[in-house]
Chains A and B, each alone.
Chain A
Amino acid sequence: MFLNALLLALREIRRNLMRSFLTTLGIVIGVAAVITMITLGNGATRLISEQISSLGSNLLIMRTGQRMGPGMSGGARFRIADAEAIEAQVSSLKAVAPVVNNGATLVAGGTNWSSAINGSTNAYLIAGNWTLAAGRQFTDEDEKLGKAVCIIGSTVREKLFGTQNPLGMELRVKKMTCEIIGLLASKGQGAMGQDQDDTVIIPIRTAQRRLTGNQFVSSIMMSMKDGVDTDRVMLQIRSLMRERRKLADNDEDDFNILDTKQIAQTLSGTVGTMTSLLGAVAAVSLLVGGIGIMNIMLVSVTERTREIGIRLAIGALEHEVLLQFLTEAVALSAFGGLIGIVLALFSCLLLSHLMQMPFLFDPSINLLSFAFSAGIGVVFGYMPARRAASLDPIEALRHE
């Protein structure tokens, strides 16, 4: 009996191929949208956590000023001595790197390129999870004397030197000419979509003397040893800094410490929320698709009143007509679901490629969307099917 209903339903769908396709379009788009949104969202979450961990695991970044809110008071700037004090007094830190950030135009061999200049120490490489692809780190002498040497990121190398080996070549940073001693291994895109490889690292004293012309430090990066209690370390750093900055008990901190792990969690959480939200919006389109099916099925019942009359007259039972129409609706929506899954697969592959995100195939969401679309067929197909089954055969046969 069920096979019969399926046969009749498929025959009916085949007979109205164009209309059937248009009817399912809502479901196709709905399913494709839901799966695409969630798959891309999962990919984005994965990407962010990968990028954050590439920034350096267990990394703390300290800046001056309160974290947020109005009147972000500047507070006194850090000096190299602050970093040295932290390194000396706070245990469980792997590396402490004072950083001077500066943007500058670089010139080499007649080409120029704007990039981020970071004045720091070798500790910066540890804290920032950098490895050298070629060349060497700074020597003690480079750091102490503020020599004109630099380590460049792969983007800078590519833009200024192409495929040449840049080691030993000269690079002009503002008015300073420095020798390239190292090349960083590529890290790719950062958590905020910035190019992490577009950077030049020079010794901090060189940056202070030649670029900024003062003794200040923009931020201090600290990487913690594995398995230490972040809160405790942050508290130690905080109390040390409060002491150094002579803050009274009732004064608020005029500096802040960012925990990258926490940022990662926050960002992943945000992306997760966005994913759910987009998924929910897409689910609404799935619902609209279901209503589309109901609409067409209702029209179809009216249009096929005579046919239903014939079926009833030659002995179709009420539940057989009901089953036929219900099967038709479910077959339509299930087909729509399948097409939607295929469409989603292609759009996910394309979009994740374009957005340079990992493509994470999630079978459960595919299965769920399919089941949901078939369920929509049952829910929205029932009413039209009920109406078809309860027609009076005499009336139905008279219908033009």
Chain B
Amino acid sequence: MSTSVTAIHPESGDASAPLIAFRGIAKSYGQGQAEFQALRGIDLEVYGGEFVAVMGPSGSGKSTAMNILGCLDSPSSGAYLFQGVHVENMDRNQRALLRRNFLGFVFQGFNLLARTSAQENVELPLLYRGEPPEKRHKAARESLALVGLDGWEHHTPAELSGGQQQRVAIARALVTHPLVLLADEPTGNLDSKRSHEIMELLARLNRERQITVLMVTHEPDMAHYARRVVHFVDGLVHSDDAQEGKACS
């Protein structure tokens, strides 16, 4: 079992093999009497180019699953294969490198750096990847243009609307050309009009650029944009379009 990020090669992705595979992933918090099982054995496979919405009531474990998917957390048991490489036992730094190189994050609360221009926010992941300034500037501008924010490079988050802030966040997530875009309640802080705009953007990026999107949401309206919906209930997968589709065919 390899636990090194260097074992992952973005080009080597075999289209027929899953990009992400959960095998009996479980996660529990606390110990003894206070032990709480957030995930109780999840099996999930996501292929490149998919747009998956993870739904479920609060406490169903969808956020925990998202944290593990995003390598922000490690599972208590089970196997997590990222492009066929075991990542469940990686240490903090290995997981950070994996996030840096292959994952993009979009959060509910936007999580942009305050008093920092959109451009600088988008450049941040490239800074940690050690890209030279010219390359950073260029990539950031391109990424901002991709989300429809050309001309807004020098505005700080305070000068942008919620929808625009989330676009900056999406641009930041995409600037490194990640294998997966992980979105945790990306429309949770937006009104319905902006929410639909963001969802259309994500759907367009998925459709036109084959960006794999994994999204957690509790709003059925938003889940409609996804091509596949996975329902979590009580730490287990309750329903999965993909499996149902297989079952039907």
**Footprint of B on A, CB under 8 Å?**
1, 4, 7-8, 11, 15, 306-307, 309-318, 320, 393-394, 397
Minimal beta-carbon separation of B42 from chain A (angstroms): 18
Are B96 and A318 in contact, with the CB atoms below 8 A? yes
Are B72 and A313 in contact, with the CB atoms below 8 A? yes
In-complex Cβ contact of A317 among B93, B111, B124 (8 A) = B93
B48 at the interface (CB under 8 A from A): no
A4 to B116, CA, bound (A): 16
Q: List 22 A-B contacts (CB under 8 A).
A: A4-B127, A4-B130, A11-B120, A15-B116, A307-B114, A309-B111, A310-B112, A310-B124, A311-B128, A313-B105, A314-B99, A314-B128, A315-B96, A315-B97, A315-B99, A315-B125, A315-B129, A316-B96, A316-B128, A317-B96, A393-B72, A397-B107
B238 at the interface (CB under 8 A from A): no
A314 to B223, CA, bound (A): 25
Which residues of chain B are within 8 angstroms of A310 by Cβ–Cβ distance? 111-113, 124
Known: A1-B130, A310-B124. 13 other contacts (CB 8 A): A4-B127, A310-B113, A311-B124, A312-B96, A313-B99, A314-B124, A314-B125, A315-B97, A315-B99, A316-B96, A317-B97, A394-B72, A397-B111
Minimal beta-carbon separation of A212 from chain B (angstroms): 82
In-complex Cβ contact of A394 among B67, B97, B116 (8 A) = B67
In-complex Cβ contact of A315 among B100, B115, B116 (8 A) = B100
Are A314 and B100 in contact, with the CB atoms below 8 A? yes
B154 at the interface (CB under 8 A from A): no
Which residues of chain A are within 8 angstroms of B172 by Cβ–Cβ distance? 314
Which residues of chain B are within 8 angstroms of A11 by Cβ–Cβ distance? 116, 120
How many inter-chain residue pairs (CB < 8 Å) link A and B? 60
Nearest-neighbor residue (CB-CB) of A316 within chain B: B128
A315 to B97, CA, bound (A): 6
A136 to B129, CA, bound (A): 87
B73 at the interface (CB under 8 A from A): yes
Which residues of chain A are within 8 angstroms of B115 by Cβ–Cβ distance? 15
Minimal beta-carbon separation of B136 from chain A (angstroms): 11
B92 at the interface (CB under 8 A from A): yes
A11 to B114, CA, bound (A): 12
Nearest-neighbor residue (CB-CB) of B101 within chain A: A315
Nearest-neighbor residue (CB-CB) of B98 within chain A: A315
Which residues of chain B are within 8 angstroms of A4 by Cβ–Cβ distance? 127-128, 130
Closest 7 CB pairs of A and B: A315-B100, A315-B99, A314-B125, A310-B111, A317-B96, A316-B128, A15-B115
Residues 76 to 133 of chain B near chain A (Cβ within 8 Å)? 92-93, 96-97, 99-101, 103, 105, 107, 111-116, 120, 124-125, 127-130
Nearest-neighbor residue (CB-CB) of A7 within chain B: B127
A317 to B99, CA, bound (A): 10
Are A320 and B111 in contact, with the CB atoms below 8 A? no
Minimal beta-carbon separation of B24 from chain A (angstroms): 22
A7 to B127, CA, bound (A): 10
Are A8 and B97 in contact, with the CB atoms below 8 A? no
Are B105 and A314 in contact, with the CB atoms below 8 A? yes
Which residues of chain A are within 8 angstroms of B70 by Cβ–Cβ distance? 313
Which residues of chain A are within 8 angstroms of B103 by Cβ–Cβ distance? 315
Minimal beta-carbon separation of A388 from chain B (angstroms): 14
A8 to B116, CA, bound (A): 11
Nearest-neighbor residue (CB-CB) of A313 within chain B: B105
Nearest-neighbor residue (CB-CB) of B102 within chain A: A315
Minimal beta-carbon separation of B104 from chain A (angstroms): 8
